[in-house]
Structure 1
């Protein structure tokens, strides 16, 4: 059983709404189930899902350990950029889910890593996410670092929290962004209606900062370089949608009707920089612009 302790900072808000906005990894329906099972307490008393919180209330969540699942090792090719006994850096292809979850228990990066690494993966995150320090979305391609030892995992997780792991992305955004560079500073939390989505939430969101630089402009599209100062779920996708320049191909946060068949958002994690968790060596990795990205830019240049 995992215990989470929080203090409410808002008056007269439902506990299920506040907790799902404050805890990115837990949906509102899951919070409600915890309430129904008697696993959430406010000031020492069991709380129902419609309990109204007040500023200063002490909240304790008892989160059961995830159900053990038989995750299979699968012989799936990996694009390995770097590897030693402590870490492995992967260039993830577009369309690959990072770790198993409902509806995706095979074909994930974790399934591939279990075959490639055997028992040489950290087990801090349990059977579902062995070695996974940070994630990128299924339809986002690019670099991520995986921990092979628990010590490396703990240190990398701390570096992630203190923003010492530098991540750069490239994206194709809808419309023309006229500023050559800029900063999007807007807090992100759960969407107030669709709990599967994130949104800019000025009241209950967590700090989120994205820096962008324009690399090229096309007809009704802009090629961007983006740097994350924070790492919220779907941060780049939400922020670009917020400034009315959603990522091309993003049917969740962008246009429902797309001009091109992109099979998801055109977003690539192109650079990754951090200190090695054990040796302290400064490491920097960079990938080529992937083929699907290049082909779309060629199409845009033709129309431009």
Structure 2
């Protein structure tokens, strides 16, 4: 879908693109109206309250989605992959043309496809149930991807700052030596993970993404990021939209341990010539294609 003139005005400038490529992150102008954000937040609540007692058409067609179906029961930090497969409102957000167009301009791609989404919910800090997101790179979980130029859009449903435990980037860490094996999204020990950083002797600079409602942050797949506790009385609600460029395809890859790398998309996507097709239009639709 072509962008309107109003939407084109929201694309990153050339200076913004240079900043992203140097620093590994970018936060956008205000992309969405308050009414749109209300609708997206409502769509997330629809997902959380949805209990699927019977398989839907998509579950019957793709049995591997079964373990991601909404249950209506959640505790602590929530991370729900493929949420947009169960919520039309979330699907409209993760496939929004502005998301793909901005990603394409940032990384210089002629095409951007969805990789997958993660609906996130960080409750108010509870000492008995920590809800930090450990320092990690997205690339560390995407070893089966041929491209190291993928990126993520992170969209909070409310104003979000350090008090609320906003996403925090390690500035320029996408240019550091490899950090894809030792870090861990699921660890609450931020200090312990930081001690494992291989910065190549460079300074560790933390940049919290303080965003107003309707703004979006983008980060490179090699940028180290994480988040601390939510000290706000309200939960931190957001969605991560993971994105792949036109060159990306499945590759056979191994972790440092020698274990064969896997990704859930390998079970979701159709198979072509015996390997997962990361262009499957059901799970990895094109969000942006360069106009010829």
Q: Please identify which structure carries the higher helix content.
A: 2
Task: Say whether the fold is shared (TM-score over 0.5).
Answer: no
- The TM-score normalised by the length of structure 2 is 0.29
TM-score by length of 1: 0.28
Bigger radius of gyration, 1 or 2? 1
Higher relative CO (CA 8 A, sep ≥ 6), structure 1 or 2?
Answer: 2
